[in-house]
A and B are shown apart, each in its own frame.
Chain A
Amino acid sequence: MKVVESGSWRDIWKRFRRSTIAMIALGYVVFVALVAFFAPLVASSKPLIVRTPTGLAFPAAQDFFTHREGVERLTAGRVLVNAPIRHSPNEIDFTNRLHEPTSAHLFGTDDVGRDVLARLVHGARVSLTVAFLAAAIALIVGSLLGAIAGYYGGWVDWLVSRLIEIVLCFPFLFLVLGIVALFRPSMYTIIIALGVTTWTDAARYVRGEIMRIRELEFAHAARAIGARDARIIFRHLLPNALAPALVSANFAVATAILTESALSFLGIGVPLPAPTWGGILGVAELYLDAAWWLAVYPGIAIFTTVAAFNVVGDRFREALDPRG
Chain B
Amino acid sequence: MAAYLARRVAYAILTFFGITIVTFTLIHSVPGDPITFYIGKSGIHGVPPAVLQAIRHEYHLDETLPVQYGYWLRGVLTFDFGPSVVDHRPAMDRILEKLPNTFVLNFIAFALAALAGIPIGLWSASKSGHLFERGSSVVFFLLYSLPSFWVALLLMEFFAVRHTWLPLFGMTSDDYLLMSAGAKLADRIQHLVLPALALTYAQLAFYARFTKAALTEVIHQDFITTARAKGVSGTSVMWRHAFRNALLPLVTLLGLTIPYLLSGSVIIETMFEWDGVGRLYLQSLMSRDYPTVLALTVVTAVVTLFASVLSDVLYAIADPRVRVEGKR
Q: B145, A306: Cβ atoms under 8 Å?
A: yes
Chain A residues near B293: list those with CB within 8 A.
178, 182
Q: B11, A310: Cβ atoms under 8 Å?
A: no
Give the nearest-CB partner of A306 in chain B.
Answer: B145
Q: A174, B153: Cβ atoms under 8 Å?
A: no
A177 interface residue, CB < 8 Å from B? yes
Q: A170, B300: Cβ atoms under 8 Å?
A: yes
B138 interface residue, CB < 8 Å from A? yes
How far is A258 from B14 in the complex, measured between Cα atoms in Å? 33
Number of interface residues of A (CB under 8 A): 46
Binds B, one of A54-62, A102-110, A285-293: A285-293
How far is A296 from B301 in the complex, measured between Cα atoms in Å? 36
Contact flag A171-B141 (CB < 8 Å), given A265-B149, A299-B153: no
Q: A174, B281: Cβ atoms under 8 Å?
A: yes
Whole-angstrom distance from the CB of B49 to the nearest CB of chain A?
27
Binds A, one of B59-67, B79-87, B259-267: B259-267
Give the nearest-CB partner of A184 in chain B.
Answer: B31
Binds A, one of B18-26, B178-186, B227-235, B238-246: B18-26
Q: A299, B300: Cβ atoms under 8 Å?
A: no
B156 interface residue, CB < 8 Å from A? yes
Whole-angstrom distance from the CB of B62 to the nearest CB of chain A?
23
How far is A262 from B141 in the complex, measured between Cα atoms in Å? 19
B318 interface residue, CB < 8 Å from A? no
User: Which B residues, 280 to 328, have Cβ-Cβ distances below 8 Å to chain A?
Assistant: 281-282, 285-286, 288, 293, 296-297, 300-302, 304-305, 308
Chain A residues near B144: list those with CB within 8 A.
310
Q: A302, B147: Cβ atoms under 8 Å?
A: yes
B273 interface residue, CB < 8 Å from A? no
B157 interface residue, CB < 8 Å from A? yes
Q: A299, B266: Cβ atoms under 8 Å?
A: no
Q: B138, A21: Cβ atoms under 8 Å?
A: yes
Contact flag A166-B147 (CB < 8 Å), given A177-B282, A183-B30, A288-B153: no
Chain A residues near B138: list those with CB within 8 A.
21, 311
A49 interface residue, CB < 8 Å from B? no
Contact flag A262-B304 (CB < 8 Å), given A177-B266, A295-B153, A307-B141: no
Whole-angstrom distance from the CB of A215 to the nearest CB of chain B?
14
Q: Which residues of B contact A (CB under 8 A)?
A: 11, 14-15, 18-19, 22, 26-27, 30-31, 137-138, 141-142, 144-150, 153-154, 156-157, 161-162, 216-217, 220, 259-260, 262-264, 266-267, 270-271, 281-282, 285-286, 288, 293, 296-297, 300-302, 304-305, 308
Give the 3 A-B CB pairs with smallest separation, nearest first: A171-B263, A307-B145, A299-B150
A to B CB contacts below 8 Å, 16 in the list: A165-B15, A166-B15, A169-B301, A170-B22, A171-B262, A173-B266, A174-B297, A181-B285, A182-B30, A182-B285, A254-B145, A295-B153, A298-B150, A302-B150, A306-B147, A310-B141
